[in-house]
Structure 1
Amino acid sequence: MPPSVSRALLLLAGLCCLLSGCLADETQETTPSSHDQEQPACHKIAPNLADFAFSLYSEVAQQSNTTNILFSPVSISLALAMLSLGAKGDTHTEILEGLKFNLTETAEADIHEGFQHLLHKANNLDSQLQLLIGNTLVMDESLKLLEKFLEDAKNLYHSEALLINFKDTEGAKTKVNSYVEKKTQGKIVDMVKDLDPETLLSLLNYVYFQGTWEKTFDPELTTEEDFHINATTTGNVTALFFLPDDGKLQHLEKTLNKELIAKFLVKEDRSPINLHLPKLSISGNYELKPLLSKLGITRVFSNGADFSGITEQVPLKLSQGKHKAVLTMDEKGTEAVGVTVLDVIPARIPESVLFDRPFLFIIYSHDIKSPLFVGKVVDPTQH
């Protein structure tokens, strides 16, 4: 359907990660035996989510090598997968293939079942680990959505509905920002800076995460140090930190993939060390259109987009996509001093590791077997 005029959808993804420490986890990956239960639905889509995560990281990293990076591949993929419910034809295919699914090998029903199970697992974790993921359909009061899309969005993606008047841009912006701020417990404010009055539907995805160190840092031992910019078990989550040698950061970025992560997740060398990490509060704020276009998701932004599975009332296209992430890391935790880490790269484990130069990190959930957050710290004072 090549309409001459399309009304706009707005894709928003917001998240907050409050990391009160490295979630060094004692869980070890094991090979399931033949009598184990069938592989959980969310684990079946995990390899695709990992491929999407590192493909997206590669595109983000190419934008600048002097800025921090922080995003949630789970958040972005959830929003896109929910959007695919209402897409048809090439638009539908582009979205799912852009999420790294091979549609000749994976049935669409299995994809949505995987995301449904992911949401269920993520929102029902150990009470000591706060992880909340949700989806909201922000609808213009004049728009009538197809019943099937509404039912599928609600049943598969736990989507809520928020009615606003997009013509009242200031009022709409205030209502959306207030909603996001409330859902992320006040950690993400001013998610939306401006809204197109022609927008009819916004797909909003939010993630809130808070964890504590397995072994806490003593605040009394926190000191100021130079950061060289240029040269209890608290849930089934592991934070992996990668500290490349000087001049090797870009090489690490190019070789980052799910196989490398898997190797460190099963690494059995664990030893107490003196770990020095910078306190930081960083954020990532991204326009998704250029990034997704590099991954082959282009038709959704054009007048040739087919979202007739959402509404037959008026042609729709994706006007823009926004993603915002916030991470805070400090000393707080619930157990004694010291930390055990999984991600030491050298074969010989040093007595002390000092993160005083740019490093990469991944916050990985063993429950859904996917990266929740991927980031890079170039300057811990950079907000």
Structure 2
Amino acid sequence: MICFFCFQNKNREYPMLKYVSCLAFVLFMASPACAQEVSFSQGMNGFGENVLVQLVEKAGPRDNVLVSPYSMSSALSLAALGARGTTREEMEKVLELPDGWNAAHQNLAKALKADEGVTLSMANGIWGAQDTKFRRMFRRQAERSFGAKIESVDFADPETLPMINGWVSKETRGMIPDLIDQLDPDLVAVLVNALYFKGDWKDAFDVKGTSDEDFHFADGGVQKISMMHRRDDFAYAAEEGWQAVALPYIGDAFELVVVLPAEGKLPLESLGAALKTGFDKRKGYLGLPKLDLSSGVELAKVLEDMGMKQAFLPVADFSAMCDRAAFISRVIHKVAMKMDEKGTEAAAATAVMMMKTAFMVEDPPFRMVVDRPYGIALRHRTSGAILFMGVVANPA
């Protein structure tokens, strides 16, 4: 699943989605075939829904709430790679990460392939302070499982901020030009995910059918908005309290699920139920608003309230990431979306800011006494060519 979106507005009665005056929607792809990918996707979706619930509860009656479970999960999972102990346990629980989630994330990223008519790109970047030494295992897993680019920077250099934001802007095709507002010189690392989607509807709306219609807000206000219209056979579902359509993009790998609650109900109440329901072909008339939206939120408090507490404290254990004692100081999440008669363009980016604490983390001294059969190899360090190798069973 890529993106959740929710309008906090009041709707009126409707015949077959004639006018969508209040909606929630989800942009997602068909479930991956691999059980491991399915498990990871379900956890990611559950985490995204939980974040959405927290944000909607705090939102005003005219506030849009837009999140990307994939982007949030990717950036925070990248940080979880470097966590140990209680810090890692809390992160894995809140993120709903299954066993083997590292490989599952890698497989899911491979499964999310774009078809003709759809552009999809995902990128991860890690910028570390010049005096930060990343652990070899963390670096290997970040590069292999997340495809992360790792770069050393000076966070006190005024050129570093526009450089990171420029990377995000490039990866999101300019839809998120300024993800981060400032960089603290005491940062250990910044972990970023960027996601971009652009897809054409399988069945486009006729531009001539678009007209100005009333949109009814939850607080009773009314405003004219640009409404697209289409009469067609739709993938449709309805139960008491809501109705929904699924609009496929070219290639059929992705679709947009639009959920319209009944009078007096909020979109979030219907969204979860609709996503668990099957859709059937049915003739109908759909009125859908054109969109050009953006949303930004600080997630630290939300994640703490969900149970990810130690990661945001100076006692956090990210010793599997680098040689600096660090904790998460900020999690920034931004989403932008445009929707018109031709299709949808959307982007998301998430930044996890790692701040250093007062002391260095040194590897504990090891103890190795070769007092049992062992192996040896004499090799050339540059080429790796082995000149001699063997097993010593009796050194006497």
TM score, norm. by length of structure 1: 0.71
Tell me if structure 2 keeps the 8 A contact 1:15–1:324.
no
- 1:128 maps to 117
- 1:222 maps to 210
> Where does structure 1 differ by over 2 angstroms across 4 or more consecutive aligned residues?
14-17, 22-25, 37-41, 230-235, 254-257, 271-274
Structure 2 CA distance, aligned partners of 1:28 and 1:137? 30
1:255 and 1:227, CA in 2 relative to 1: closer, same or farther beyond 3 A? Answer: closer
1:244 and 1:65, CA in 2 relative to 1: closer, same or farther beyond 3 A? Answer: farther
Equivalent residues in 2 for 1:89-168, closer than 5 Å: 89-101=85-97, 106-107=98-99, 110-122=100-112, 124-168=113-157
The count of residues paired between Structure 1 and Structure 2 equals: 297
- 1:307 maps to 318
Tell me if structure 2 keeps the 8 A contact 1:16–1:326.
no
Structure 2 CA distance, aligned partners of 1:38 and 1:73? 20
Matched, 1:261 2:271: no
Q: Could you tell me how far 1:95 is from its partner in structure 2?
A: 0.5
Equivalent residues in 2 for 1:165-314, closer than 5 Å: 165-168=154-157, 170-230=158-218, 231=220, 233-249=250-266, 252-254=267-269, 256-257=271-272, 260-263=274-277, 266-268=278-280, 270-312=281-323, 314=324
Structure 2 CA distance, aligned partners of 1:42 and 1:129? 21
SS in 1 for 2:177: coil
Structure 2 CA distance, aligned partners of 1:275 and 1:23? 17
- 2:42 maps to 47
Matched, 1:321 2:320: no
Tell me if structure 1 keeps the 8 A contact 2:261–2:270.
no
Question: Letter of the aligned partner of 2:96 in structure 1?
Answer: K
Tell me if structure 2 keeps the 8 A contact 1:215–1:333.
no
Q: Could you tell me how far 1:77 is from its partner in structure 2?
A: 0.8
Q: Deviations over 1:316-352 (max 9, x none)?
A: 1111000000010111159xxxxxxxxxxxxxxxxxx
Tell me if structure 1 keeps the 8 A contact 2:124–2:194.
yes
Structure 2 CA distance, aligned partners of 1:192 and 1:207? 16
Q: Could you tell me how far 1:261 is from its partner in structure 2?
A: 0.8
Tell me if structure 2 keeps the 8 A contact 1:137–1:203.
yes
The gaps in structure 1 that reach 5 residues or longer are 1-13, 30-36, 335-362, 364-371, 374-383
1:255 and 1:217, CA in 2 relative to 1: closer, same or farther beyond 3 A? Answer: closer
Q: Deviations over 1:179-231 (max 9, x none)?
A: 11111111111111111111120000010011111211111222122211234
Question: Letter of the aligned partner of 2:57 in structure 1?
Answer: Q
Q: Deviations over 1:292-315 (max 9, x none)?
A: 112111111101100100112x21
1:180 and 1:299, CA in 2 relative to 1: closer, same or farther beyond 3 A? Answer: same
Structure 2 CA distance, aligned partners of 1:255 and 1:222? 27
Question: Letter of the aligned partner of 2:170 in structure 1?
Answer: K
| Sequence identity (%) | 27
Question: Letter of the aligned partner of 1:319 in structure 2?
Answer: S
Tell me if structure 2 keeps the 8 A contact 1:85–1:149.
yes
Tell me if structure 2 keeps the 8 A contact 1:214–1:233.
yes
The gaps in structure 2 that reach 5 residues or longer are 6-24, 221-248, 349-396
Q: Could you tell me how far 1:278 is from its partner in structure 2?
A: 1.3
**Greater alpha carbon shift after TM alignment, 216-225 vs 322-331:** 216-225
SS in 1 for 2:215: coil
SS in 2 for 1:300: helix
Question: Letter of the aligned partner of 2:72 in structure 1?
Answer: I
Structure 2 CA distance, aligned partners of 1:126 and 1:149? 32
Q: Could you tell me how far 1:134 is from its partner in structure 2?
A: 1.4
1:60 equivalent among 51, 55, 60: 55
SS in 2 for 1:226: strand
Q: Could you tell me how far 1:256 is from its partner in structure 2?
A: 4.1
SS in 1 for 2:317: coil
Tell me if structure 1 keeps the 8 A contact 2:127–2:189.
yes
Structure 2 CA distance, aligned partners of 1:151 and 1:89? 20
Structure 1 CA distance, aligned partners of 2:45 and 2:159? 38
Tell me if structure 1 keeps the 8 A contact 2:120–2:197.
yes
SS in 2 for 1:271: strand
SS in 2 for 1:277: strand
1:74 equivalent among 70, 74, 78: 70
Q: Could you tell me how far 1:65 is from its partner in structure 2?
A: 3.5
Q: CA RMSD in A?
A: 2.9
**Greater alpha carbon shift after TM alignment, 230-239 vs 191-200:** 230-239
- 1:369 maps to none
Structure 2 CA distance, aligned partners of 1:288 and 1:65? 17
TM score, norm. by length of structure 2: 0.69
1:295 and 1:271, CA in 2 relative to 1: closer, same or farther beyond 3 A? Answer: same
1:50 and 1:15, CA in 2 relative to 1: closer, same or farther beyond 3 A? Answer: closer
Structure 2 CA distance, aligned partners of 1:245 and 1:285? 28
Q: Could you tell me how far 1:162 is from its partner in structure 2?
A: 3.0
Q: Deviations over 1:253-297 (max 9, x none)?
A: 24643x64121xx222x1232221111111120101011112111
